[in-house]
Structure 1
Amino acid sequence: MDTSPPPPPPVWVVLRTFLLATVTILAASIVAGMLLHSLDPDRPPIETLQGLRGLIAGALASASALILTLGIAARRLTLARLRLVPGRERGRDIVAAILGVLALGQALDSATTLIGLSDQGSMAVIRKALQGASGSELFFAVIAIGIVAGAAEEVFFRGYMQSMLRERWRPTLAILVTSVCFGALHMDLLHVPLAIALGVYLGFVTERAGSALPAVVCHIVNNAVYTLLTATVGSWDGRNLHMMLGVAGTVVFVGCLLFLRRSLPASARS
């Protein structure tokens, strides 16, 4: 019996898996929306989908579709091959990576506010759905958006897609292509570039650590913190405030980036 590991999948197979995941997400989201609407048929469908329950259902549908697709595509791959085992990272590296992703998120959020785009696109819909959430609804939102969706996206994109592309390409190209696909999945003109920037950073963290687990932790914390702050604090107003937050976020992000570059030297292929 041949127990040798399977060869690296061709690039077109990895990209086909991404397209399959996208189609599966759309199908799962439609089914979730129909089921949710059936529970309250008198409410306009658009209100149902853009409400908090619609947001939670969408996050769970998307995560389920990603994991289902991954289960089919990566059934012969080990956790080590997907880099879902600990790598070179230490506790301080994970802390720096988390601070970096939070700082990047704040810098990007302040930038969109300063150029007048904060009230447009899917991010505005998400903020509106989350504002004022409390109790069990907030708890389930943190679980669905923070833990489930954040983990599923990282396992698929950094764990599977970037790792498989890296076996065919140089790490930098694997990071960029994976990040573009990650951004495209969000299907919103404003959300796409923000997601690409996040993907590039998480891809960098993955390559430096030699593991996708730190990126999983970063994404979970980022989504959970965003969900909690949006629900409990809401949006911050004021141009001067966002200028300060944007500068502070950029400084902290660059500092974390430099720290990770020193603490986690690049591998020979980077």
Structure 2
Amino acid sequence: MDIQPSEMGLVARVAHLSKRYGAGDHGVVALDDVSVGIRRGQFTAIMGPSGSGKSTLMHIMAGLDTPSDGRAWIGDDEITGLGDVQLTRIRRRLGFVFQAFNLVPTLDVRGNILLPFELGGVRPTAEDERRIDDVIAALGLSERVSHRPHELSGGQQQRVAIARALASNPSVIFADEPTGALDTRTGREVLRLLRSAVDSSGQSIAMVTHDPVAASHADRILFLADGRIVADQGAMTAEQISAAMLRLESGAAAGAAASAAARPVSTGAHA
């Protein structure tokens, strides 16, 4: 009998996960036999050189993409092979924060924050309303609830996206480069709020980032290279993370150079 993710203290998990794009000589392996879980009540950062598979891993764990091989769970529900309707129902239990914000332009701030409830066909309870009001206040959006996205700065739009992710009190929030489009001050505020969601509410966060300072807010850092997890570390300083990333990127560059040198050179002649 399989051990359930909840018995392992995990809110999301993948086992022997692989993802390939294309076929034959033109195929690309984005993930190669990855097994990992996101722990309950923990802030996990996912890092790696460009093309290492970090965003692909997060998207599959969140049910936004499908694996070529392997299995994936959200909570104790296996999502491998589920149809769109079933996946949509499960994804309603999750929170999402993306670099592009993904706000609905015709809705005001409060309407965007309440969108998970609308899509789920449920009305917020009195407790939900109190929590949402607290989140809006904590994010400094109380004076902006009737504004639409085009009336907000980039930092304010990202705060709305975070409020929406927190609104339904999800078990896990998936964040893909949430500070990538923000100025330094706003980015640090966003990270402080994500950190607070873990510390105050016991929520779990999985965040893809290239920023060592952002990753230094995490309890755990997964490093990927060439589609595999090459290190699973506890909390690290920004300087330690920068050094680890430099080693990974140097190794990736050396590997690419070796592969290029090993490929036969076409002369254009035909036998």
Q: TM-score, normalised by structure 2?
A: 0.27
Report the structure, 1 or 2, having the larger helix content.
1
Q: Is the radius of gyration larger for structure 1 or structure 2?
A: 2
TM-score by length of 1: 0.27
Which structure: greater strand fraction?
2
Higher relative contact order at CA 8 Å, sep ≥6: structure 1 or structure 2?
1
